[in-house]
Structure 1
Amino acid sequence: MLTIIIPTLNESKSGYLNKLLQAYKPSANLEVLCVDGGSSDNTLNLIQEAGVGLIETDFSSRAARLNVGIEAAKHQMILLNHPRSIIEGAGIQALMASNKDLSWGAFTHKFDNSHPLLSFTSWYSNFVRGDRRGIYYLDHCIFAQKTLLLDIGLLPDIEIFEDTELCLKLSKKAKGIRLPFISETSAIRFETTGIYFQAFKNQYLKWQYYFNRSDKKMNTLYEKGLELNTEYKKGSRK
């Protein structure tokens, strides 16, 4: 049995949410739960029309919304599904079939754009940062046992790199397993800001993270011009 948690916030701009909701059909063994952070587009309508679970919050950070979903989840195995990533059906079935044997892990990342730099980014993310260092980003779609997530204190309530911090905490308990099934992720961020510019920005932010810079300032830079994960209100960028 499996609970899929999707943190949502104005998802219409990417077009992925509807694909997700059509692909993941709730059943007795599969719970699909969207935790929304105050969407002002038609995100809530899409969720309600799909007939999946919905929790409305005023949390702007993705981590806080994921934590709400984890605490509300019915099933022991939990999949933290990036709102712009979709897992192939065989991957969902494999996770459900072997969830008693897995502590935590993630799926194999792939962008929906075949640009060479993006292909290299996925390769590095899967085989180097993931397999060797045990760090997966949320667009890999991280899964874990609910008891394990509660034991480590859930995700830290920070605005960026919460997935890195989560994996570091989980790695202290057990080794993460990367399943061979694809988590296809939207390249909207790269396509909108420019592939090379976004790649440079990502590397710059990683250095900022290693030097313990403010998560709010880092995320403001990351979301500038797109605001895909966090919605900033006028005058709130500090």
Structure 2
Amino acid sequence: MLSVIVPVRDEALVLPQLLADLAPLRAAGAELILVDGGSRDATCALARGHVDQLIRSVAGRARQMNAGAASARGDYLWFVHADTRIDAAAVRSLLGALARRPLWGRFDVRLSGRGLALRLIGTMISLRSRLTGVASGDQGIFVARAVFERLGGYADIPLMEDLELCRRLKRLSRPRCLRPALLTSSRRWERHGIWRTVLLMWRLRLAYYCGASPEQLARAYHRGPRP
């Protein structure tokens, strides 16, 4: 019924934790698909024996997720980032929601780091998503495979592919918003500075909604916040 699709590239440090989180779900019959975009570390070696399909793909999160979806057998697709942690309560929430056959949905999110600022950011991301009906990839977007295929999957763009898909999905229905929250890594915020990263994210979103090209935004994103 469920195919879990994880796009990866050089994620050996965090992938074993996610695979352990997903092992009970896989044992219960879910399909786990890892889509590698050219890892040069031990990512693929660590995944062997713990996934149902290990797919090689051209790098790019949208392309990798589309490749995984094309090979999936489940009625539902669940897109999960490698640096996400998933507890048993989140899995129960997902399976309960899928039993009611939603078109699509996502989870609330919280950041892994300590401190009030990171807790506040996670809360605001979840609240913004509930108000707008738009989710980021860190929020574990799930979607009926038939709907995903009818919409043509993720747009082949280097950034904002999650927002672009959500905008199309919203025309069909509001998302099913699930708790408890998924735990996602705060490494980018901690590496580049919490508030500088927040400002960068908002600036990129605003530019995207104003018509800036995803290619231009991707270059700014990978440069990171300016000091």
Q: Mark yes or no: TM-score above 0.5.
A: yes
Distance in 2, Cα, partners of 1:39 & 1:92: 28
The match for 2:15 is 17
Q: Which residue of 2 aligns with 1:3?
A: 3
1:21-43 per-residue CA deviation (whole Å, 9 max, x = no partner) reads 11112236211100111111111
Q: How many residues align?
A: 222
Q: Letter of the aligned partner of 1:24 in structure 2?
A: L
Match of 2:138 in 1: 139
217-226 vs 81-90, greater mean Cα deviation:
217-226
Aligned mates of 1:225, 1:195 — CA distance in 2: 12
Counterpart of 1:236?
Answer: none
Kept in 2: contact 1:16–1:186 (CA 8 A): no
Give the corresponding residue for 2:116: 116
Cα displacement string for residues 50-109 of structure 1 (whole angstroms, at most 9, x for unaligned residues) = 34421011x221011101111211110111001211222222233224414122111110
Q: What is the CA–CA distance in structure 1 between the aligned matches of 2:210 and 2:97, rounded to whole Å? A: 38
SS at match of 2:85: strand
**Percent identity for Structure 1 against Structure 2:** 27
Distance in 1 of aligned mates of 2:217 and 2:51: 36
Flag the 1:155–1:200 CA change in 2: closer, same or farther, 3 A.
same
- Residue 63 (structure 1) aligns with: 62
Partner of 1:234: none
1:42 paired residue number: 42
Deviation at 1:199, TM superposition (A): 1.4
Task: Give the secondary structure class of the aligned counterpart of 1:5.
Answer: strand
List aligned pairs for 1:103-182, cutoff 5 A. 103-127=103-127, 129-182=128-181
- Conservation of the 8 A alpha-carbon contact between 1:109 and 1:185: yes
User: Which shifted more, 24-33 or 184-193?
Assistant: 24-33
User: Unaligned stretches of 5+ in structure 1?
Assistant: 227-238
Task: Return structure 1 stretches of 4+ with deviation > 6 angstroms.
Answer: none
Letter in 2 for 1:209: Y
Q: Which amino acid aligns with 2:82?
A: P
- Structure 2 CA distance, aligned partners of 1:136 and 1:114? 23
**CA-atom RMSD in angstroms:** 1.7
